[in-house]
């Protein structure tokens, strides 16, 4: 089958560079997977699809936390620095007063 573009190069670009913000509402990778699945079914190619969920479950959740900076010294007097200082001082004292955290 001839597509007119390199499917794997396109997926690599989407995973490494991402798509433009104006196209964020399109699930591009999922659409590519669906097209590839349909083409293989139409061609009679035997394949096994392994779903990205644990065995016997309907879905999976992944919680992540992105770390945007290495150290506070990279953020001189910006919103990140002030937020850090607030949370580590006023926020911590407030949480201690409310009994949410211990002195230790």
pTM: predicted TM-score of the whole model, two decimal places: 0.48
Residues 5-11 have a mean pLDDT of 90
Tokens (6 digits) for 42? 């139409």
Of 67, 88, 85, 65, nearest to 76 (Cα)?
A: 85
Q: What is the mean pLDDT of the chain?
A: 84
Residues 66-75 have a mean pLDDT of 62
Instruction: Tell me the pLDDT band of 94, cut-offs 50, 70 and 90.
Output: very high
The per-residue pLDDT for range 9-51, each reduced to its tens digit, is: 999 999 888 888 898 888 999 999 999 999 999 999 999 988 7
Cα 69 from Cα 84, distance rounded (Å): 12
Query: What is residue 70's predicted lDDT score, i.e. its pLDDT?
Result: 59
Query: What is residue 55's predicted lDDT score, i.e. its pLDDT?
Result: 83
Residue 91, pLDDT > 70, answer yes
Tokens (6 digits) for 94? 């407030």
Residues 67-87 have a mean pLDDT of 72
């Amino acid at each position: 089958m001839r597509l007119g573009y390199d499917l794997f190069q396109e997926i690599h670009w989407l995973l490494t560079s991402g798509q433009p913000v104006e196209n964020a509402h399109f699930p591009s990778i999922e659409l590519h997977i669906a097209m590839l699945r349909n083409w293989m079914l139409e061609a009679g190619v035997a394949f096994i699809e392994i779903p990205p969920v644990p065995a016997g479950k309907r879905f999976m959740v992944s919680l992540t936390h992105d770390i945007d900076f290495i150290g506070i010294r990279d953020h001189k007097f910006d919103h990140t620095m002030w937020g850090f200082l607030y949370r580590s001082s006023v926020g911590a004292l407030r949480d201690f007063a409310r009994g949410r955290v211990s002195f230790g």
